[in-house]
Amino acid sequence: MSTAAVESPGTRAPRLALGLAGLVLALVVLNAWVSDDAYITFRVVENVLRGDGLVWNPGERVMVYTHPLWFGLLLPTSALVGVWWASVSLGLGFTVASLRLLVREVG
């Protein structure tokens, strides 16, 4: 006689959804990439964090980043986790937030 616990149908779907979400998250992080323009902002963020200012090359006062809002979001986040991870995690977070808004509006 088997002593295996019987799983109720109500607990299977949430566990399956959680597992699928974990798999999708792992695939997104493993396949994440950033465009070449992002590396311009990355370098400026790294220069600011080193104390060199909002510059491409220390000593040259030239604003090279093209998107101040993204720069402003990356700067404090990069101080915590590094610039690449900050970019990927912020991008993923905004994607999830957008999808939630879409589901709320449509569904």
Query: For residue 47, is it within any domain?
Result: yes
On whether residue 24 sits in a domain, the answer given is no
* Residue range(s) defining the domain that contains residue 58: 34-106
Tens digits of per-residue pLDDT, 18-58?
Answer: 888 888 888 887 887 888 888 999 999 999 999 999 999 99
Name the residue among 49, 41, 44 with its Cα closest to residue 76.
49
The helix (run of H) or strand (run of E) holding residue 24 is helix 9-30
What amino acid is encoded at 40 in this protein? I
Structure tokens given for 17:
């959804």
- How many domains would you assign to the chain? 1
Q: Is 13 contained in some domain?
A: no
- Tell whether 98 is covered by a domain: yes
| Residue 102 domain flag | yes
For 53-95, write each residue's pLDDT tens digit: 999 999 888 888 888 999 999 999 999 999 999 999 998 899 8
Residue 81 located in a structural domain:
yes
* Contact (Cβ atoms closer than 8 angstroms) between residue 84 and residue 42: yes
